[in-house]
Amino acid sequence: MMVPHLDRPICEPVELRPGARLRVRHVAEGRGAEPSTPFPHYHDVCELVLFGQVRGEFVADGVRYPLSRGCLVFVPSLRQHDFTLAGGARDWTLVQIDPGTVASLPGGESLRSAFCARPRGALAQRIGVLVEWLREAGEDDVLATPSAQLLLLAAAQAPRIEGLADGVGADALRRLRPAIERLRRDPANAPSAEQAAALCALSPAYFSRRFHQQLGMAWSDYVRTHRLHLASQRLRDGEGSVAEIAYALGFSTPSHFGDVFQRHFHVTPAEYRRRGR
């Protein structure tokens, strides 16, 4: 799916369709694209991101990696990660796959940890062919899942890019995960900051301080961002009307949802859906 000139988050709380094992999306943004907004997160799916043109950084397991043209990153299931992309033209292909499908791969030990790599030569060409085939065939093709598995194994062979420790533990979200898990399970009924603190067995003041320190935003901002990223995905995938999406994600009214969405993405939900098709 080509989505030119559309402010689309690279970090998403991904949801596979019921029964689906794979999700493939291609995103291209023009010269006017703004720098990405940080959103440290994790999700159930395993994720392979193959970049075309890009400048920025990728953080996973407490290690920060530089991103540049032609690199790729892999993130296992339930592993905290984040992307910081510079403004300007950029493009990437997302391949998100059910963790059970990844776990069943023979010789998949190299896919148990997050990594950043840059394929070269013949390997880069083979990966490019696989990516192009997946993008054209779509995730519902009978050969899509085995092709994605082959792509993952090929990506695991690419020379690694060295990263630098960013001063944060391998999983800075561990102590905060009870609150985040509650939000992920039921975004329409997200806990308040006080309830989130209780879920994590922390005082409200310490929870708020620690959450902001480790994720760079307040709990309320994280809840709003999580809901908006879910909404953007559902809008692009055609899941329900704008009003249905608004109520399903806990916004008080469709009008309130529209105002918050437009402030974040600089476009109305209806226009976002139209451009994403």
- In SS3 terms, 247-258 reads as HHCCCCCHHHHH
pLDDT at position 7 over 70: no
The CATH number of whichever domain residue 75 belongs to comes to 2.60.120.810
Residues 64 and 191 in one domain: no
Average pLDDT over residues 161-168: 81
For the chain, the domain total comes to 2
Q: What's the Cα-to-Cα distance from 175 to each of 90, 199, 207, 221, rounded to whole Å? A: 34, 10, 10, 19
> Residue 46: inside a domain, yes or no?
yes
Please give the Cα distance from 231 to 246 (Å, whole number).
8
Q: How do residues 209-266 score in pLDDT, each as one tens digit?
A: 988 887 778 999 989 988 988 888 788 777 789 999 999 999 999 999 999 999 888 8
Give the global pTM: 0.72
Range of the domain at 133: 22-165
The CATH number of whichever domain residue 193 belongs to comes to 1.10.10.60
Residues 106 and 228 in one domain: no
> Residue 5: inside a domain, yes or no?
no
Q: Bin 191: left if φ > 0, else alpha if -120 < ψ < 50, else beta.
A: beta
- How deeply is 52 buried, as exposed, middle or buried, from its count of CB atoms within 10 A (0-12, 13-18, 19+)? middle
Confidence at residue 1, expressed as pLDDT on a 0 to 100 scale = 39
Residue with tokens 């792509």: 151
Q: What's the Cα-to-Cα distance from 39 to each of 81, 223, 244, rounded to whole Å? A: 8, 11, 25
Please give the Cα distance from 166 to 12 (Å, whole number).
22
pLDDT at position 73 over 90: yes
Residues 149 and 189 in one domain: no
Boundary-marking domain end, from 165, 190, 218: 165
Q: How do residues 83-127 score in pLDDT, each as one tens digit?
A: 999 999 999 999 989 888 888 888 778 898 999 999 999 999 999
Residues 82 and 136 in one domain: yes
> Residue 4: inside a domain, yes or no?
no
Residues 112 and 239 in one domain: no
Percentage of residues of the chain with pLDDT beyond 70: 90
Q: Which residue type occupies 170? A: A
